[in-house]
Amino acid sequence: MIWEIDEASHRVEGLDENGRARPEYAASLGLVPAPFGRRALAATIEAAVYVVLQLPMLFGVLPGLIALATAPSGTVLGGGDLVLIVVLAAVSTVLSTAFVITQLTLHGRRGVTLGKAIAGIRSVNVRTLERPGFWRGAVVRALVLWASFAVPLIGPLLVIALSPFFDGEQRGRGWPDLAGATWFVDVRNGLNPYDAKRMRIARKTVATDLADVRSELPSLATPADERGTTAYIPTSRSSGGVLGAARGEGAPADESAAYAPATVAPTAAPVTPQGPTASAPVASSAPQSPPVVPPATAGGGSAWVPPRLLPDQEADAAAPAAAAAPAAQAPAPARRVAAPASAPASSRASTPQAASAAPAIVLTLDNGEEVRVEGPGILIGRDPALIPGGPALALGAITDPTKSVSKTHLAIMRSGTAVVVIDLGSTNGSALLRDGSERTLGPHEQVALRSGDTIRLGDRHARIRIG
């Protein structure tokens, strides 16, 4: 199956059924509304700067114009005075225009102005919680704000000072903010929405808390089409891969029956036939037990992907089992009996001598805490749980306040004489750090570990000691 991703689409989170922003979603991210005191401080600072830029106009141009207007008829100003008035007017106009354009650009693109930066305030779009935008977030809001000064005293008092108290969402958004779809947040006491990394973690944390359910990971087998088209069915394994067969229209509906091995040996003890019928199979009228599910598909399309022995370790792992079985009863490869599906992988281990000879595995976390791996392996995460169809591994819970570590993040297992790490499709991924280089682990990819390696899982790290 080929998945297509529409990069142009952008899903906005935190909206209700009517498309309006939900204040509780922003509060759950850690965004705090800006207090009125610091909003007034930011506006006062910006107004003071604007007045300073108008000083040449106030103390140079305006007195000259008043003198010209009140002078007796026929009086003409000197050439030097006229040039001075024009220069001061030009300087004041250019500086004021540059200041206003800079303020609007910074507000629209970065959500900050001179006064907001000093007061610890940022402006965001109320729906997307991202930058406000130049035209609506900055220009439209500024036009509504400046239009209030058309009515002296009453206009600014109503639009700037009183309109925030009429906000039904209790966010303190006045009429200019409603026109520009903006919202002012406090970055000193809350989350800075322009900190991309922390904002991403906060969104993932809220999404995990709202719908934190474990999803079934894909099966090793290709799922069958609803119309019953031909599908690939794994029937047996070899060191070179998986052998399969095609299933057509008449395939059984039960997935576990479809995944059963091609040849199932009886669970009773093997009987050595005698006489001329030694080559014929033994027929039995007794009811047979359910088909034995091979370990690779235990659980009927479950999430577990068992680790495969490395090619150079298959012979070493098979040697103890071959030596323990009598030579006379060594079964042929086609009649090898698989372990029951309910038995964990660790129960199919070899003798106690082999278990005691296994090297010790110790994980040292970045906070100094040590986790010792007992038995066949361990599942590590914030709140790990056994995977359906997987082996009965130990559970190792680690603390992660930022929730960058998934609930069941990765597995560390013994695979023959090797120790492997397997990422279980975690949200923030895993990586192996060795000799100064970092290798990212793909979902369900197993990589052999060495003593001294470091594993990165989310924002946490763990150092491996083997032996």
Which contacts qualify for 5-14: CB closer than 8 Å, 24 or more apart?
A: 12/127, 12/128, 13/203, 13/207, 14/129
Residue 413 near residue 403 (C-beta atoms within 8 A): no
Q: Is residue 297 part of a domain?
A: no
44 vs 213: CA distance, rounded Å: 50
Structure tokens at 217: 């990971």
Geometric angle at alpha carbon 441, from 436 and 442, rounded to 5°? 155
Q: Is residue 279 part of a domain?
A: no
**Confidence class of residue 78 from pLDDT cuts 50, 70 and 90?**
low
- Name the more confident of 397 and 331: 397
Domain end call among 182, 210, 238: 210
Could you tell me which of 198, 204, 202, 193 has the C-alpha nearest to residue 130? 193
Q: Is residue 290 part of a domain?
A: no
CATH number at residue 427: 2.60.200.20
- DSSP letters along 285-307, please? -SPPPPPPPPGGGTTTS-S--PP
Structure tokens at 244: 């399969």
Residue 447 near residue 439 (C-beta atoms within 8 A): yes
User: pTM for the whole thing?
Assistant: 0.46
Is residue 41 scored above 60 in pLDDT? yes
Number of separate domains in the chain? 2
Q: Is residue 218 part of a domain?
A: no
DSSP element (H, E) containing 25: helix 23-29
Q: Is residue 123 part of a domain?
A: yes
DSSP element (H, E) containing 106: helix 79-110
Structure tokens at 207: 């999404």
Length of the chain: 467
**Confidence class of residue 188 from pLDDT cuts 50, 70 and 90?**
very high
On average, the pLDDT of the chain sits at 73
Q: In what order do the strands lie in the sheet with 454-457?
A: 370-373, 361-365, 460-466, 454-457, 430-434, 437-441
Structure tokens at 124: 């965001």
DSSP structural state of residue 360: P
pLDDT of residue 349: 38
Structure tokens at 388: 């359906």
**Confidence class of residue 313 from pLDDT cuts 50, 70 and 90?**
very low
Is residue 357 scored above 50 in pLDDT? yes
pLDDT in tens, 8-24: 456 788 888 888 899 99
Q: Is residue 8 part of a domain?
A: no
Report the relative pairing of strands 418-423 and 446-448 from DSSP bridges.
Answer: antiparallel
- By residue range, what is the domain housing residue 454? 354-466
Q: Is residue 304 part of a domain?
A: no
Is residue 99 scored above 50 in pLDDT? yes
Could you tell me which of 294, 316, 306 has the C-alpha nearest to residue 418? 316
**The CA-based dihedral angle spanning residues 335, 341, 343, 349, taken in that order and rounded to the nearest 10 degrees:** 40
pLDDT in tens, 243-279: 444 444 444 444 444 333 433 334 344 444 444 444 4
Q: Is residue 372 part of a domain?
A: yes
Highest mean pLDDT among 50-64, 68-82, 101-115: 101-115
Domain end call among 189, 210, 231: 210
